[in-house]
Amino acid sequence: MFRKNMLPIVVFCLFLLETSALPSRANEIGDAVQQQKDITNQTNQVRGQLNRLTYTEDKIKTQMAQLEKQIAAAQILLNQKQTAFAQAQKQVLAAQNELDLKQKELEDRQVALGKRAKGIYESGQISYLELLFQAADLGDFITRMEYFTKLVSNDRQLLMDIQTQKEQIVKKTNELQSIRDQARKLQELAASAKSDLDKANSQQRLALDQNKKDQQVAFDNIDRLEAEANAWNDKIRKLQAAQVGRPGGVSGSITTWPVQGYYEISSPFGWRVHPITHKRSLHTGTDIVAPTGTKITAAGAGVVIMAGWNTAYGNMTIIDHGKGISTLYGHQSALAVTEGQSVQANQVIGYVGSTGWSTGPHLHFEVREGGNPTDPLRYFPN
């Protein structure tokens, strides 16, 4: 009799213990979700830094491309100035050689005239007069007189011509020297400009190398934070699994394609080289191409456990469908649901966009089983 009376009491006590544990599990899920959000916020900050570094890298590369064009142009200009200087130098040398020849010719002429004058002086006027008075008649005398006059005049004119040519050559040489000096200055300026451009290019290369190192640090931080986030994801999934079958728990499934009328896949689930980070990584979802603003619908009934901004996914929604299954919808142009909201299959939850790390409008659609990404097309064999 006592045992029969005690049985309902024991059952009632167990019921009270069980119901009192429900808030505890709910608090655990809430704490785990908050931890996951904190890590996501940290990851977003690092990804924001990575975005800035990527932008800086592109800017540096653009500046380097411009510098390389300027360096190429400066090299052409330098080659032209070097050629002009070489030509001017050659002309100066040629003019100098010509001047030396004229100088020698003048000196030789002066020596010859000096010898003639000396001979006339030494032989005296007698020889000169003898030549004149040996004339046969007056006409011969006048002819001889004119000859000697022309000889002296010719020598004088020749000396004047040589002197004039010498002065012209000196003037030409001075002009060529000025051209050569100017060519040398232009050559030095061109060389200096190219040197400055080379220095700037070298500094840009150093900046680019440092930028890549900073990016690697950001990549490493993202990997670490994502590993922590995945660990919390696993905990959330386990806590969610513990809720299956309990009052208020989720027990749905994936039943509908999330972008009705659009079935082109631009990037399937699997390993690939990421279009933004250029690192080989697992593409954890399927990219469905659709125009910006196209309606996105829930792939199945469930509860929205995350709806907000993520640096990589942009506007993102995660729906828990129960039984350890969740779906993620990334790069949305706008969200249509909030966290904690219950949704039905085929209900509009957002709109296609290209936010976050995206190269064009599409829906990044993920399915996770027990927190692990799986190929979404497994749920849509047709």
Q: Closest by alpha carbon to 299, among 363, 230, 370?
A: 363
The CB density around residue 357, as the number of other CB atoms within 10 Å, is 21
Lowest mean pLDDT among 145-159, 205-219, 285-299, 367-381: 145-159
Question: So where are the chain's domains?
Answer: 31-243, 250-382
The yes-or-no verdict on residue 15 having pLDDT over 50 is no
Lowest mean pLDDT among 234-238, 324-328, 363-367: 234-238
Q: How far apart, in whole angstroms, are the C-alpha atoms of residue 317 and residue 313?
A: 9
The CB density around residue 348, as the number of other CB atoms within 10 Å, is 12
Count Cβ neighbours within 10 Å for each residue of 122-160 and write b for 16 or more, e otherwise: eeeeeeeeeeeeeeeeeeeeeebeeeeeeeeeebeeeee
The CATH number of 31-243, from 1.10.287, 3.40.30, 1.25.40, 3.30.70, is: 1.10.287
- Main-chain phi, psi angles of 357, to 5 degrees: -85, 90
Q: Residues with Cβ < 8 Å from 322, sequence gap 6 or more?
A: 240, 243, 244, 249, 250, 251, 252, 302
The CB density around residue 304, as the number of other CB atoms within 10 Å, is 19
Task: Pick the more confident residue, 237 or 22.
Answer: 237
Task: Pick the more confident residue, 317 or 231.
Answer: 317
Lowest mean pLDDT among 12-21, 149-158, 173-182: 12-21
Q: How far apart, in whole angstroms, are the C-alpha atoms of residue 342 and residue 218?
A: 36
Using DSSP's 3-state secondary structure scheme, residue 361 falls into coil
The yes-or-no verdict on residue 334 having pLDDT over 90 is yes
Instruction: Record the pTM.
Output: 0.47
Residue 21: band (very low, low, confident or very high) from pLDDT cuts 50, 70, 90: very low
Residue range 186-205: mean pLDDT, rounded: 80
Q: How far apart, in whole angstroms, are the C-alpha atoms of residue 319 and residue 209?
A: 41
Partners of 296 in beta bridges: 350
**Secondary structure of 113-154 as H, E, C letters:** HHHHHHHHHHHHHHHHHHHHHCCCCHHHHHHHHHHHHHHHHH
CB 297 within 8 A of CB 260: yes
pLDDT value for 207: 81
pLDDT value for 10: 44
CB 351 within 8 A of CB 332: yes
Q: How far apart, in whole angstroms, are the C-alpha atoms of residue 100 and residue 378?
A: 96
Residue in the block written with tokens 């003037």:
171
Q: Closest by alpha carbon to 280, among 364, 209, 238, 223?
A: 223
Q: What are the DSSP calls for 165-208, one per residue?
A: HHHHHHHHHHHHHHHHHHHHHHHHHHHHHHHHHHHHHHHHHHHH
Query: Would you give the DSSP letter of residue 5?
Result: H
pLDDT value for 16: 43
Q: Which pair of structure tokens corresponds to residue 160?
A: 């004047």
The most confident of the ranges 186-195, 249-258, 334-343 is 334-343
The yes-or-no verdict on residue 244 having pLDDT over 70 is no
Q: How far apart, in whole angstroms, are the C-alpha atoms of residue 209 and residue 167?
A: 62
The yes-or-no verdict on residue 150 having pLDDT over 90 is no
Q: Residues with Cβ < 8 Å from 71, sequence gap 6 or more?
A: 194, 197, 198, 201
The yes-or-no verdict on residue 8 having pLDDT over 80 is no
Using DSSP's 3-state secondary structure scheme, residue 273 falls into strand
Residue 274: band (very low, low, confident or very high) from pLDDT cuts 50, 70, 90: low
Residue in the block written with tokens 């190929």:
375
Q: How far apart, in whole angstroms, are the C-alpha atoms of residue 314 and residue 334?
A: 10
Lowest mean pLDDT among 78-87, 139-148, 212-221, 345-354: 139-148
Lowest mean pLDDT among 206-215, 226-235, 276-285, 328-337: 226-235
CB 89 within 8 A of CB 215: no
Percent of the chain's residues with pLDDT above 70: 68
pLDDT value for 140: 58
pLDDT value for 370: 74
Burial class for 279, CB neighbours closer than 10 Å (0-12, 13-18, 19+): exposed
Q: What are the DSSP calls for 241-272, one per residue?
A: HHHTTSTT-------S-SSTT---EEE-SEEE
pLDDT value for 142: 64
Domain 250-382 in CATH 3.40.50.1100? The answer is: no
Residue 322: band (very low, low, confident or very high) from pLDDT cuts 50, 70, 90: confident
Partners of 273 in beta bridges: 280
Residue 232: band (very low, low, confident or very high) from pLDDT cuts 50, 70, 90: low
pLDDT in tens, 100-109: 787 777 777 6
Q: Which pair of structure tokens corresponds to residue 329?
A: 């919808």
